Amino acid sequence: MQYKVAEEGSPLITGLARMIEEDRCTLRWIWPAGVEAVYIGQRLIDDEDVSEEDEIGSLRLYTKAEYKANNGYVCRLDRARMYRFTIYILMEREEGAILLKQRDGENRMEVSAHRAKIYYSVSERSGLFRKHKSIQIEVRTEVALGSDVLCYVKKQGGFPANREDGLMYPFVAPFSAGRNVLPPIEVDKQDHIRLFLADVRKHGHLYELIATT
Cross-strand partners of 42: 85
Q: Is the pLDDT of residue 108 over 60?
A: yes
Give the separation between CA 15 and CA 192, rounded to whole angstroms.
Answer: 50
DSSP for residue 183: P
Kind of pairing, strands 96-101 and 2-5? parallel
> Hey, where are the domains in the chain?
2-112, 116-211
Contact 184, 123 (CB under 8 A): no
Report if pTM > 0.85. Answer: no
Q: Is the pLDDT of residue 199 over 60?
A: yes
Question: Which CATH architecture fits 2-112?
Answer: Sandwich (2.60)
- Fold match, 2-112 / 116-211: yes
Question: Which CATH architecture fits 116-211?
Answer: Sandwich (2.60)
Q: What is the DSSP string of 93-139?
A: ETTEEEEEEPTT-TTEEEEE-SPEEEEEEEEEEE-TT-SEEEEEEEE
- What is the chain's length? 213
Other residues' Cβ atoms within 10 Å of the Cβ of residue 86: 21
pLDDT averaged over every residue in the chain:
90
The mean pLDDT value for 2-8 works out to: 88
The mean pLDDT value for 181-198 works out to: 95
Contact 139, 182 (CB under 8 A): yes
Position 52 scores a pLDDT of 57
Q: Would you say the C-alpha torsion 60, 62, 66, 71 has a positive or negative sign? A: positive
Q: Is the pLDDT of residue 48 over 70?
A: no
Burial of 94 (C-beta count, 10 Å sphere; 0-12/13-18/19+): exposed
Give, in degrees to the nearest 5, the angle at Cα 70 between 22 and 59: 85
